[in-house]
Structure 1
Amino acid sequence: MDVIIAFLNGVIEEVFIEHPNGFVIHEKESHVCRLKKALHGLKEAPRVWYERIDQYLLSLGFLKNDADPNIYFKVIDVKALILVLYIDDLFLTGEDDLIARCKKELASEFEMKDLGLMYYSLGLEVWQRPNEVILSQEKYAIDLLKRFGMLDCKSMATPMEANLKKLHDVAISSDLVDPTMYRQLIGSLMYLVNTRLDICYAVNTLSQFMCETRQIHFVAAKHILRYVRGTMGYGLKYTSCEVLNLQGFSDSDWAGCVPDRKNTSGCCFSLGSATIFWCSRKQSCVAQSTTEVEYVASCVAASEVVWLRKLLAGLFGQHLEPIVILCVPGNNEARIASLDHQLHVNLPHSHWHESGHNIVDRQLKYRKLGPKNVSYNPLPAVNSKTCHDSPQGSPPNANKERVHEIEGRNQSKVLAFMA
């Protein structure tokens, strides 16, 4: 649902303005006007609007989530209703009768526009089927390729080359390029990462060259666009499950950044059938051993665990079991470092000791992946026929026809997305 002229619903205090042009009262030109309602453009307008909608939702019996103040929920007769507030947009999920009742209550207080079932919002496509929800940014990816003139480019099988050292070694002799276009491209790719965790690491790596952009960096960014060209239909598929287990995976490289010898940590968490959180970020400290590297990576994952536990437990007040974080074989040193409080004193970066505290509080636990679950070989090239439901022997211009079909919003079925 969309609130019409939302900011005008906020009640503001002690704000005065000059007479608007054409409304000056004779013999009172020196007077000022006191606002009773907020106006668009005032810096106080977003705050007073949030205070107004927050008070009204709480009066309806909603409870605010402690982890995210924009998530509200309530349970009536074992039926749940969740409301997500994003500025002037409200997203409702739950039982149909509770949603209908909430819509009437909101429409009685604010001027609302019912947009119906959610299928597109902020570049995110939502496909809702019985017992499953599919999230994708296919239209956004097509617009991105059009913007940078890469819609008809040749697709690539991987988002970037495995040898990242070239980005630093060859960059010295490479020519400087206009950083404005590069920053626009990386910023657009950052938004695409919202549903494409497969390009998260590549975008994070290239985002480190914003200040001194060279030709090889721009070529590497176009490499990601070529990969997106062949995988436009990828997204996230969530199916209904009787048991929802939240578990994560944590890992890190060793001195992956050549200039400063810093490492890159990565973690992801899945809930039920698909991933709900992922990140790849450069560590802020220079580790002196692989034990310290993995320890810092595990602490980054532990910080996210605390927030996810608070978010999920705060919705319905349920007790959560300790969340499992999987580590690759050989990373047992990080697990020992988390459990051994004496080692905390020896590690120089004491601000990373949140992982051990969370283990003591029984919020998380580490588990080693088995040899069968770990592959040390490079990933093979992706076969597009396994990711798309187009039949074998498709014509060469099938992708172009598909682009026009998406633009017209006349798709007859949803592609099979990567879960």
Structure 2
Amino acid sequence: MQIKEPKTYKEAINNPEWVKAVLLELKALIDTKTWKLVDLPPGKIPIGCKWVFKVKYKSDGSIERFKARLVAKGYTQTYGIDYFDTFSPVAKITTIRVLLSLAAVNNWYLHQLDVNTAFLHGDLDEEVYMVLPPGLSTDPADANKVCKLTKSLYGLKQASRQWFLKLTSTLISLGYTQSKSDHSLFIKNKSASYTALLVYVDDIVLTGNDMSEINRVKEHLDKTFTIKDLGQLKYFLGMEIARSSAGIHMNQRKYALELLEDQGMLASKPAKSPLDPGLQLSNTAGALLPEDEATSYRTLVGRLQYLCNTRPDLQFAVNYLAQFVSSPRTPHQQAIPQVLRYIKAAPAQGILFSAESSLDLHAYTDADWAGCLDTRRSTSGYCVFLGKSLVSWAAQKQQVVSRSSAEAEYRALADTTCELQWLSSMLTELHQTIQFPLQVHCDSKSAIHMASNPVQHKRTKHIELDCHLVRDQVQRGFLHVTYIPTAQQLADPFTKAVGVSTFQELITKLPIHSINGQLAGGC
């Protein structure tokens, strides 16, 4: 049962659980000396603040805790006065998949940490003033004072950046090296000891073969920041992680069921594919949706996009529907129920990182020429495997119109090459041995000839130079493009809606399994 979360502080104080959560948060703010009570200097304008209340649930749906967080109204900050730089990296989902696949093959430990009030550990360089938060008990003489912030607070534009800088300096002092491929990844390799640490704001994943080093970094982080040790990795960013002798399974069962419940589709009839192959949508056909329905459409498509992190079989369908979020129309809305009915067929479906796999990097690439009715742009699709494990995939519209199907395939090949370059760089930083050249499977002989032929000729002179990185990487021995029949092209479902039988056949060749069937009795 979902508990209603209060929207304001006045609503929350009627419930002792929320009052307890507020007092706990205020204690943490005071203990970390987040502010000083001062008189507001002339010419300064204090920013506001508010309480945000959230019920945290476990993966089984039971309540974990009531959480209250004081958030500064950072949208009122002025650039150049209240803040300067704001950027802070977070872990890429692909990096998470790569680490899980390596952990499965190498039988590494997998642990998770949560940093308590992470943003409060960042030091502020700017002078920022905030009004007194509701619930803060102060001396009556201080009623007209304001809080001069000394630490970054949730909601401040620079808060995440300051926290990440503090964490980075701490990890580097412990001997960790920051990855250049993904700045949120930290690696320590010393003799036979290997540890990798991945950061997503205040959630941390630790993996490696040395439990003593994992415990050592946990203890140091707890002394420096105060952490919550969540033990073995089981639930991360809404993704459920289950481990067995077969490998590591990642799915979003709880998230998918909540989505279906919110849309009233739990009792719907399951579908065998997310889109009908004959479906043709455009920006002009059909009536525009009313604003409230358009907002609901955008929200639902956004939620479906997050589900694609563990459901490559949904990638094209969701990407296709996302192209119309600016001005959704009736036909776009009518296409969504089939996607939901397809999810209903197997809500626990996800990807399996096999424990019995090699670590060779290879990919499949494909394109659907001029598939967009409005712009006549083509759609690129690829899927990248690390051994048997699927670690990266994409379905995206190309930036320019291709003059031929060969050109569209060649552009898709260029996108895949870029992804392989990034992944190979990250695997090298993770001290993994990669066998070159990397195999890329393509079903277009013309695109393969373009990639292999160094001579500029009539068919390729109009193609942008950046696409010819494929040819350069083939000549360097980094890449080898091989032909594969269309019937065996695993990237085909990432470029268009295919027939049910073809879709089912190709999807079964991807490591997509339902947690209920794959790891039953073995978790």
Provide the TM-score with structure 1 as the length reference: 0.83
Alignment check: 8 A CA contact 2:188 2:194 kept: yes
| Identity between Structure 1 and Structure 2 (%) | 31
SS of the residue 1:194 aligns to:
coil
Instruction: Return the alpha-carbon distance in structure 1 between the equivalents of residues 129 and 380 of structure 2.
Output: 51
Seen in structure 2, the aligned counterparts of structure 1 residues 32 and 181 have a Cα distance that, compared at 3 Å, is closer
Q: Pick one of 303, 320, 342 that aligns with 1:205.
A: 320
8 Å CA contact 1:239–1:273 kept in 2: the answer is yes
**SS of equivalent residue, structure 2 residue 189:** strand
Q: 1:341 to 1:127 in 2, by over 3 A?
A: same
1:162 aligns with 2:277: yes
2:199 to 81, 85, 105: 85
Mean Cα deviation higher: 250-259 or 53-62: 250-259
Q: Which of 402, 407, 416 is 2:518 aligned to? A: 416
Aligned twin of 2:235: 120
Verify the 8 A CA contact 1:155 1:227 in the aligned structure 2: yes
Query: What is the CA-CA distance between 1:284 and the residue it aligns to?
Result: 1.0
Given candidates 397, 402, 421, the residue that maps to 1:306 is 421
- Residue of structure 2 in register with 1:403 after alignment: none
Check 1:128–1:63 CA distance in 2 against 1; reply closer, same or farther (3 A cut): same
Structure 1 residue 34: deviation in Å? 5.8
1-structure distance, mates of 2:213, 2:442: 42
State which of 131, 155, 179 in structure 2 corresponds to 1:65: 179
Deviation of 1:319 (Å):
5.2
8 Å contact from structure 1 (residues 65, 311) kept in 2: yes
- Extract unaligned runs of 5+ from structure 1: 390-412
1:23-102 correspondence runs (5 A): 35-95=149-209, 96-102=211-217
Q: Supply the AA of the counterpart residue of 1:75.
A: N
Q: Does 2:115 correspond to 1:3?
A: yes
**8 Å Cα contact 1:209-1:217 kept in structure 2:** yes
User: Residue by residue, what CA displacement relative to the aligned partner does 1:15-65 show, whole Å, maximum 9, x if unpaired?
Assistant: 243785857989xx9x99764433333322222211111011001011111
Could you tell me which residue of structure 2 aligns to residue 137 of structure 1?
Answer: 252
**SS, match of residue 15 in structure 1:** strand
Give 1:332's aligned amino acid.
K
Kindly provide the CA deviation profile for residues 240-260 of structure 1, in whole angstroms up to 9, marking residues without a partner as x.
236211100000112111222
Partners of 1:215 and 1:372 in 2: CA distance? 34
AA of the residue aligned to 1:51: L
**Structure 2 residue ranges without an equivalent (≥5):** 1-112, 493-497
Deviates more, 1:247-256 or 1:350-359: 350-359
- The 5 A counterparts of 1:184-203 are 184-203=299-318
Are 1:110 and 2:225 an aligned pair? yes
Cα shift readout 1:222-243 (whole Å, capped 9, x = no counterpart): 1100111012121111122362
In the TM superposition, residue 379 of structure 1 has moved relative to its aligned partner by 4.2
- Distance in 1 between residues matched to 2:330 and 2:487, nearest whole Å: 41
Check if 1:224 corresponds to 2:339: yes
**What does residue range 310-321 of structure 1 map to in structure 2 within 5 Å?**
310-316=425-431, 318=433, 320-321=435-436
* Alpha-carbon offset, residue 286 of structure 1: 0.7
Determine which of 321, 327, 334 is the counterpart of 2:447. Answer: 334
Structure 1 residue 317 displacement after superposition: 6.6
Q: Which amino acid aligns with 1:88?
A: D
1:279, distance to aligned residue in structure 2 (A): 0.3
Give yes or no for contact 2:365–2:382 (8 Å, CA) kept in 1. yes
TM-score by length of 2: 0.67
Shift of 1:116: 1.1
